[in-house]
Structure 1
Amino acid sequence: MSIGIVLALMAAVGYGAADFVGGLTARRVSPWAVALAGQLAGGLAMLVAGSALPGQARPEHFAWAVLAGAGSAVGTVFLYRGLARGRMGVVAPVSGVGAALVPVFVGVSLGERPAVLTWVGVLVALPGIYLVSREVADGTGRSWGGIADGALAGLGFGLLFVALAQVPESAGLLPLAANQGVGAVFTLAVAGLLSQPWAPRDRAGFRAAGWGAVGGLLGTAGTAAFLFASHSADLAVVGVLASLYPAVTVLLATTVLREPFRLSQGLGLLVCGASVGLVAMA
């Protein structure tokens, strides 16, 4: 198994753990406050790390990082909008598959030609991602609004993956600080536009912000792992493997919170595992 595949799976673990912590915290306070705390914490961590381990970042590297931050912010906004409308069963799986497909299309258009076995693994991963993130129907149905929210969220997260892959390792970690900063500014802007609370106002709020910061650090670690993975393996492969993060969230919810584990999710996990195995053997 190549280092690129290992790093891509580490990115999935980071993103999945971040979603678990952030999602659990957002049950108690505004999700906007949780997202903002995570972005600020991640940005500060990357600023410190990037200053201690300086690279050779050029303006175009920061431009790609800013574009990645915009993609992440757009994905988060539409994901939250879909979930707020009670369409989790549609938005989550559509966004997960969309986030996996965008790097595949871009990678192929840039001339990547993965091995046949790798392609099989990539194609197998898509239904696995869908199944593992699929929620029980909530009565809202598969409306076009839910599909649109999920598709836009997937495009946003896919843009995050593609733009990050354009930042070379030699640029160091400072561009990732810019990535998080853009996400924080976008979150503040949208929260203000929608009149959503984004600042903690009591002890419980500050405690939740602390957990939001933990989730942000996990997500930023996943982003850093993806950045390095994208330079050690094909973008199409790395993007799909990183998009397996819903499997990590589901496993944490099952083991830590003892949430019900549905048959479709179990099948999805098996399919995701088969996908990783196929890619690793290629």
Structure 2
Amino acid sequence: MIALLLALGSSLAYGCADFLGGLGARKAHVLRTVLVAAPASLLVELLVWPVLGASFSAGALGWGAASGVASAAAFVLLYRTLAIGPMNVLSPVTALVSAALPVAVGLLEGEHLGTAGLVGLPLALAAVVLVSAGHGAGSARPSRTALLLAFGAGSAIALQLVFLHQAPADSGVAPLITGRAISSAVTLAAAALLRRRLGSERPAYALSATAGVLDSLANLLFLLAARSGDLTVVAVITALYPAGTVLLARGVLAERVHRGQLLGLGAAALAVSLLALT
């Protein structure tokens, strides 16, 4: 139950972070947004270091660095994806892709599900599909480029989560700090190389920084959830984060929520209830 609650918190934080990051990327080049978000995330992880501790072993540094590279790619691809829009379609597509690899890794590592979990797991995946499926009259259709970016972002997120899960359980927040430091360095290097293409628009500092803080919180909650529960369940619950993004996009941007998406939200709630019984 603790792992489930942590995963739900991670899902909520990811959904809010993606929404704010996507909005920020609409106001300036995506790299400018990430240059604000990534350091803000690192600051949060440094602040929790004294509380949760950190052991910078070879395993923590290696897996943390790998997660950092994946995180940098995820930041750029995801915020660019959501900047193109529509958020209420692309975010769920990204989430579905991001759930597949961690679930496969968990099953290959020998994790087993009870009867409720065997029903809840595919139902949760179906919920993500339903939230993203169908456009309905008057709804915006994503471009091929946007869909490719969404698949790329989902793959990067999946790798980041798997790499974090592989880090030693006694390493504290060391993998997060290492990963965020690496992702910030990679982003800074990319921005330096592409500085002439970044334009003159200033990023939405408050939106971008808040997105970074929420993303850091989501990573922390996921790491704690994965250490106290099965990766298979935790990854799927975390992948339900589009529910928050979809609802925020509906309330703030007036993006249309299709009837199938509402059905998906209901299926997600039922899936979480079933997975809580595992």
TM-score, structure 2 normalization: 0.86
For residues 260 and 166 of structure 1, what CA distance do their matches in structure 2 show?
39
Question: Which amino acid in the other structure matches residue 73 of structure 2?
Answer: V
Instruction: Say if 2:22 and 2:79, in contact at 8 Å, map to a contact too.
Output: no
Q: CA deviation at 1:259?
A: 3.8
For residues 45 and 36 of structure 1, what CA distance do their matches in structure 2 show?
15
Q: CA deviation at 1:124?
A: 1.0
Q: CA deviation at 1:40?
A: 0.4
Alignment correspondent of 1:231: 227
Specify whether residues 91 and 228 from structure 1 end up closer, same or farther in structure 2 by C-alpha distance, changes over 3 A only.
Answer: same
3-state SS of paired residue (1:261): coil
Specify whether residues 52 and 113 from structure 1 end up closer, same or farther in structure 2 by C-alpha distance, changes over 3 A only.
Answer: closer
Q: Percent identity?
A: 35
Specify whether residues 85 and 155 from structure 1 end up closer, same or farther in structure 2 by C-alpha distance, changes over 3 A only.
Answer: same
Deviates more, 1:239-248 or 1:182-191: 182-191
Alignment partner of 2:216 out of 207, 215, 220: 220
Quote the RMSD (CA, aligned, Å). 2.7
> Would you say 1:36 and 2:32 are equivalent positions?
no
For residues 278 and 37 of structure 1, what CA distance do their matches in structure 2 show?
39
Q: CA deviation at 1:92?
A: 3.7
Question: Which amino acid in the other structure matches residue 72 of structure 2?
Answer: A
Q: CA deviation at 1:106?
A: 0.4
Q: CA deviation at 1:9?
A: 0.6
For residues 20 and 82 of structure 2, what CA distance do their matches in structure 1 show?
16
Q: CA deviation at 1:73?
A: 2.2
Question: Which amino acid in the other structure matches residue 198 of structure 2?
Answer: P
1:146-185 → structure 2 map (5 Å cutoff)? 148-185=148-185
For residues 149 and 171 of structure 2, what CA distance do their matches in structure 1 show?
34
Instruction: Say if 2:120 and 2:271, in contact at 8 Å, map to a contact too.
Output: yes
For residues 254 and 141 of structure 2, what CA distance do their matches in structure 1 show?
24
For residues 20 and 43 of structure 1, what CA distance do their matches in structure 2 show?
20
Alignment correspondent of 2:111: 112
Structure 2 unaligned blocks of 5 or more: none
Instruction: Say if 1:11 and 1:222, in contact at 8 Å, map to a contact too.
Output: yes
For residues 128 and 193 of structure 2, what CA distance do their matches in structure 1 show?
32
Deviates more, 1:162-171 or 1:109-118: 162-171
Question: Which amino acid in the other structure matches residue 261 of structure 2?
Answer: Q
Alignment correspondent of 1:21: 20
Q: CA deviation at 1:211?
A: 2.2
Q: CA deviation at 1:276?
A: 0.6
Which digits, 9 at most, give the CA deviation of each residue in 1:193-250, with x for residues without a partner? 555428875xxx4xx1232111111110010000000011110110111011110111
Instruction: Say if 1:12 and 1:244, in contact at 8 Å, map to a contact too.
Output: yes
Instruction: Say if 1:103 and 1:239, in contact at 8 Å, map to a contact too.
Output: yes
TM-score, structure 1 normalization: 0.85
Specify whether residues 76 and 25 from structure 1 end up closer, same or farther in structure 2 by C-alpha distance, changes over 3 A only.
Answer: closer
> Would you say 1:275 and 2:271 are equivalent positions?
yes
Deviates more, 1:253-262 or 1:67-76: 253-262
Alignment correspondent of 2:198: 197
Instruction: Say if 1:42 and 1:177, in contact at 8 Å, map to a contact too.
Output: no
Q: CA deviation at 1:59?
A: 2.0
Q: CA deviation at 1:186?
A: 2.6
Structure 1 unaligned blocks of 5 or more: none
Instruction: Say if 2:20 and 2:207, in contact at 8 Å, map to a contact too.
Output: yes
Which digits, 9 at most, give the CA deviation of each residue in 1:33-92, with x for residues without a partner? 222211101112212321454333312112111111222222334445556777878754
For residues 64 and 97 of structure 1, what CA distance do their matches in structure 2 show?
23
Specify whether residues 109 and 139 from structure 1 end up closer, same or farther in structure 2 by C-alpha distance, changes over 3 A only.
Answer: closer
For residues 178 and 39 of structure 1, what CA distance do their matches in structure 2 show?
12
3-state SS of paired residue (2:276): helix
